[in-house]
């Protein structure tokens, strides 16, 4: 066994490594240590390292001296960014040595980062999150017995009735049937606005009213929150709904969550579970980040190589180990049948699915899978992306780039029936395309003077292709850095809330996803042990709930009409398990959902926190591994 002890020297930006050889035998000759670091290594300060190579997060350290069993070696690395928290330390490691047919596992030791435990509180007042626009508590309660009858009413309410029936059966262990007479009734109210609902509960029954399927789903979600998380007693009225009258409608029509499944693959069951948790919080858009430098996760029948090669990482794979993955083959992808299953489940829950195929940058997995189509053999450009790749950008001057984009997007449009397709468009590195004769010829032919115009040239072609399929193109804020694209573009503000005012100068709709309020891969405190990144600071629970998307805009500002809505994001460089996903999302996602939904002005944090304490037992019951509020 090999053990790697990591000790950061925060002030100097150094990382001290001690590699111990317990029972691995003699390591000699051209032996190498492989490890994954989120940030870059600037240089080797000390130690027997004759060569260092870094690709993305994957570092290869070629050693210049043997390591005998029972001995240890020391080295010191200078990092680009000082280690301020445990997740900046090596995430995974292994060794390769002559005479050893297999990769040698390395146990990485550093101060441990605990993943949160359940708070285990019992409920008090109902934990309604997000808070409705109007709530009036009424005397009495509605007791639900072992047999509950539910009247689904109009066809538009059928998905909500089925979801509520399943939710009640799981929650109360009751036999819930459809029919009349019923304690719970759905009824159509055409006068209500889109997604609005009214819910009234008296000792005689509960009435759920809406004008559309989404409104009925939101009413069902509120009713489930009104239930106690655990039975109140051991009698027939152990499950009670309090008397209440609620009138509610959303603040924004777009309330999204982005999940990155490229950096780490998350299995289909995890996606379906997340959609259920989103619906309970009245979130209605699932932005599915399916491709990036580190992985291609969507089956494309025109190009099977994309998943044969691009979906897998490992020491013997075309894509190196990155982030939390070691030398073994790891990864995965979603078949088209699995995608249809996700889309159908999301539709039943009133959630639109937005696929993202990130282009022209963040395309390394695709380029390595299809080099004959996507690699410009004459391009000698020198660049390095923010993630330290020098080969991750599609060429706007190659015919193969457009063949690739159109065939991929053709299948994407068939799989995803929603109105939007996200194409990324972000983080095109400086220096790209400048060394390509083909790109220089294209610039001269079109009269371009800046590389950003080449990116817009490609994205305009993609936008027009999507328009022929009835889709609107979405992209990150960088799609506005070049010349104007066609009308109908939706741009996402992500680097900061400060960029919103500049983006509003362009005639586009916006989705706000500012990192300092909505990036849930960022740590929740400044504690060294707290998992997460911190490039945009920490994002504690209170900060999420205090987010004011209207900041700097007058109440009657016309620009407000161009805000499509809000989105939270979970990038998964450091998130490879359901437990860590839960911990980074909850309870912050509840605070975000309230900001995106509550239409009665900026919500009060202390009031929200009291309701959250009552809501947490529901998360316990659902098996959510959330962060305890006292840690926030």
CA distance 378 to 370: 16
SS3 465: helix
Active site residues: 427
Q: What's the gap between Cα 510 and its chain centre?
A: 19
CA distance 298 to 369: 13
Query: For residue 202, how many C-alpha atoms fall within 13 Å in the half-sphere facing its CB?
Result: 4
Q: Which residues of 340-369 are buried (b: 16+ CB within 10 A; e: fewer)?
A: eebbebbebbbbbbbbbbbbbbbbbbbbbb
Strand partners, 106: 2
- Residue 103 Ramachandran class (φ > 0 left, ψ -120 to 50 alpha, else beta): beta
Q: Angle CA(205)–CA(207)–CA(211) in degrees, nearest 5? A: 170
User: Quick check: 331 and 311 in contact, CB under 8 A?
Assistant: yes
Q: What's the gap between Cα 249 and its chain centre?
A: 26
Q: At 255, which helix (H) or strand (E)?
A: strand 254-260
Q: At 220, which helix (H) or strand (E)?
A: helix 213-226
User: Quick check: 349 and 282 in contact, CB under 8 A?
Assistant: no
Largest CA distance in the chain: 82
Rounded (10°) angle between helices 399-415 and 336-348: 50
SS3 450: coil
Beta strands 104-109 and 2-9, pairing class: parallel
Beta strands 490-493 and 509-512, pairing class: parallel
User: Quick check: 20 and 5 in contact, CB under 8 A?
Assistant: yes
CA distance 25 to 37: 26
| Nearest CA among 536, 88, 79 for reference residue 323 | 88
Q: What's the gap between Cα 26 and its chain centre?
A: 43
For residue 159, the 8-state DSSP code is H
Q: Angle CA(408)–CA(410)–CA(415) in degrees, nearest 5? A: 95
Strand partners, 373: none
| Nearest CA among 443, 484, 442 for reference residue 463 | 484
């Amino acid at each position: 066994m090999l053990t790697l002890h990591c000790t950061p020297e925060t002030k100097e930006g150094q990382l001290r490594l001690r590699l111990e050889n317990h029972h691995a035998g003699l390591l000699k000759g051209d032996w190498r240590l492989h490890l994954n670091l989120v940030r870059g290594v600037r240089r080797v300060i000390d130690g027997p390292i004759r060569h260092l190579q870094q690709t993305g997060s994957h570092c290869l350290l070629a050693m210049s001296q043997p390591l005998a069993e029972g001995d240890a070696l020391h080295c010191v690395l200078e990092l680009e960014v000082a280690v301020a928290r445990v997740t900046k330390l090596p995430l995974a490691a292994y060794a390769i040595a002559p005479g050893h047919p297999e990769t040698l596992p390395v146990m990485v030791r550093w101060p441990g980062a605990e993943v949160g435990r359940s708070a285990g509180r019992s409920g008090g007042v109902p934990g309604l999150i997000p808070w409705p626009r109007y709530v009036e508590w009424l005397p009495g309660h509605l007791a639900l017995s072992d047999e509950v009858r539910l009247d689904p009413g109009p066809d538009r309410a059928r998905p909500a009735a089925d979801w509520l029936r399943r939710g009640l059966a799981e929650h109360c262990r009751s036999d819930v049937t459809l029919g009349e007479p019923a304690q719970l009734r759905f009824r159509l109210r055409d006068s209500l606005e889109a997604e609005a609902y009214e819910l009234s509960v008296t000792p005689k029954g509960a009435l759920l009213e809406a004008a559309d399927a989404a409104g009925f789903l939101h009413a069902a979600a509120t009713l489930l929150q009104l239930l106690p998380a655990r039975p109140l007693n051991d009698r027939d009225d152990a499950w009670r709904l309090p008397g209440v009258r609620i009138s509610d409608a959303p603040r924004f029509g777009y309330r999204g969550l982005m999940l990155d499944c490229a950096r780490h693959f998350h299995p289909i069951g995890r996606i379906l579970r997340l959609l259920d948790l989103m619906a309970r919080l009245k979130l209605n858009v699932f932005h599915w980040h399916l491709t990036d430098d580190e992985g291609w996760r969507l089956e494309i029948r025109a190009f099977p190589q994309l998943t044969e090669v691009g979906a897998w990482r490992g020491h013997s794979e075309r894509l190196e180990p990155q982030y939390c993955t070691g030398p073994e083959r790891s990864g995965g992808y979603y078949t088209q049948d699995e995608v249809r299953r996700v889309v159908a489940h999301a539709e039943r829950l009133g959630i639109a699915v937005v696929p993202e195929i990130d282009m022209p940058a963040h395309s390394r997995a695709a380029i390595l899978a299809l080099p004959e189509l996507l690699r410009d053999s004459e391009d000698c450009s020198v660049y390095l992306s923010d993630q330290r790749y020098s080969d991750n950008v599609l060429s706007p001057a190659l015919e193969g780039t457009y063949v690739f984009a159109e065939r991929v997007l053709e299948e994407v449009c068939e799989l995803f029936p929603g109105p939007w397709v996200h194409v990324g468009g972000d983080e095109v590195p400086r220096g790209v395309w400048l060394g390509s004769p083909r790109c220089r010829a294209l610039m001269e032919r079109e009269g371009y003077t800046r590389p950003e115009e080449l990116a817009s040239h490609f994205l305009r072609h993609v936008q027009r292709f999507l328009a022929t399929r009835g889709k609107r193109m979405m992209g990150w804020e960088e799609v506005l850095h070049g010349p104007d694209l066609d009308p109908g573009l939706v741009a996402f503000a992500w680097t900061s809330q400060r960029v919103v005012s500049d983006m509003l100068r362009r005639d586009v709709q916006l989705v706000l996803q500012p990192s300092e309020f909505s990036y849930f891969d960022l740590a929740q405190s400044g504690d060294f042990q707290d998992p997460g990144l911190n490039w945009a600071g920490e994002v504690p629970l209170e900060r999420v709930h205090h987010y004011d998307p209207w900041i700097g805009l007058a109440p009657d500002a016309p620009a407000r009409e161009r805000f499509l809505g809000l989105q939270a994001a979970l990038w998964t460089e450091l998130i490879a398990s359901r437990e860590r996903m839960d911990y980074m999302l909850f309870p912050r996602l509840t605070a975000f959902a309230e900001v995106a939904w509550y239409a009665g002005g900026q919500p009060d944090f202390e009031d929200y926190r009291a309701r959250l304490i009552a809501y947490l037992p529901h998360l316990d019951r659902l098996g959510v591994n959330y962060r305890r509020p006292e840690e926030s």
